Every structure is written in C-alpha cells, then in structure tokens.
Amino acid sequence: QLRLVESGGGLAQAGGSLRLSCAASGLSLQYYAIAWFRQAPGKEREEGVSCISGSGGITKYADSVKGRSTISRDNAKNTVFLQMNSLKPEDTAVYYCAAVRHYSGTLELLWADPEQYDYWGQGTQVTVSS
C-alpha cells in the first residue's frame, strides 16, 4: 500500500514562493506517476496542477501555473516536489498529491482527471495573501 504525505504548505505573500513535498512510503515511488491537485475554497472539484511520470521525463502543467511552477522528483528519496513561484492569491487552496502506477497513454490525455489516480495524500494548505 502506497502512503503519501504532503508538506511545505503555509502562508505566503503574493509574489513569493513555496516548495511543496510529497513523501511516499510503503512502496517505491519510481513506478508511479505523481500529480498535484488543488481544491480552492468553495470549489467542489480538485484542479489538476501538475504531473510527472515515474522517470521524471514527462511533466505536465495546468495553464494556471505554467511558467511559475516546476514539478520534480527524487526517486532515491521517494519524494516529489512542486516548486511554486510568483504566487498569486488565486493559488490559495489545499494541495494534494496523488499517484497511479505507470504513466500511460490515457494519463497523457487525462493527467488532470482525479479519477485516474489510486492513492491520495491528506493535503497541505497553501494561503497566499495579497
């Protein structure tokens, strides 16, 4: 069983940066594609933010964070990171990491669909003040 734990959230000012971490235990993360989702206050559905394949060779970004965020992974440490720069108040949300075994052709198209993922962390709160 794969267990995911997010950390690194907190309060930041607009224009600032945060680095979120998703630490895995239970299984080796190298076989899993990892995505970051976020759920903003008052919204029911999570928004796909970014995704990375098991090898790290494929990355995806939502338009809302493209150019401001970088997803990376350290499989030796069983951890995936999301570096977020130039933060905006609209980035305020609970951020979740999610995992699915293998980066498939389906995930290439549907990486931002929460239904594609089998494992989820508990989330970390990011609050950006203006």
Chain segment 61-81, per-residue pLDDT in tens: 999 999 999 999 999 999 999
Distance CA 130, CA 47 (A): 21
Residues 6+ positions from 39 with CB-CB distance below 8 Å: 45, 46, 47, 93, 94, 96, 123
Distance CA 6, CA 97 (A): 7
Distance CA 49, CA 123 (A): 14
According to DSSP, the residues that pair with 94 across neighbouring strands are 39, 125
DSSP state of 91: G
Average pLDDT over residues 90-110: 92
pLDDT at 34 over 90: yes
Q: Give the pLDDT score at 75.
A: 92
pLDDT grade, residue 106 (50/70/90)?
Answer: confident
Mean pLDDT of all residues belonging to the chain: 95
Average pLDDT over residues 102-107: 83
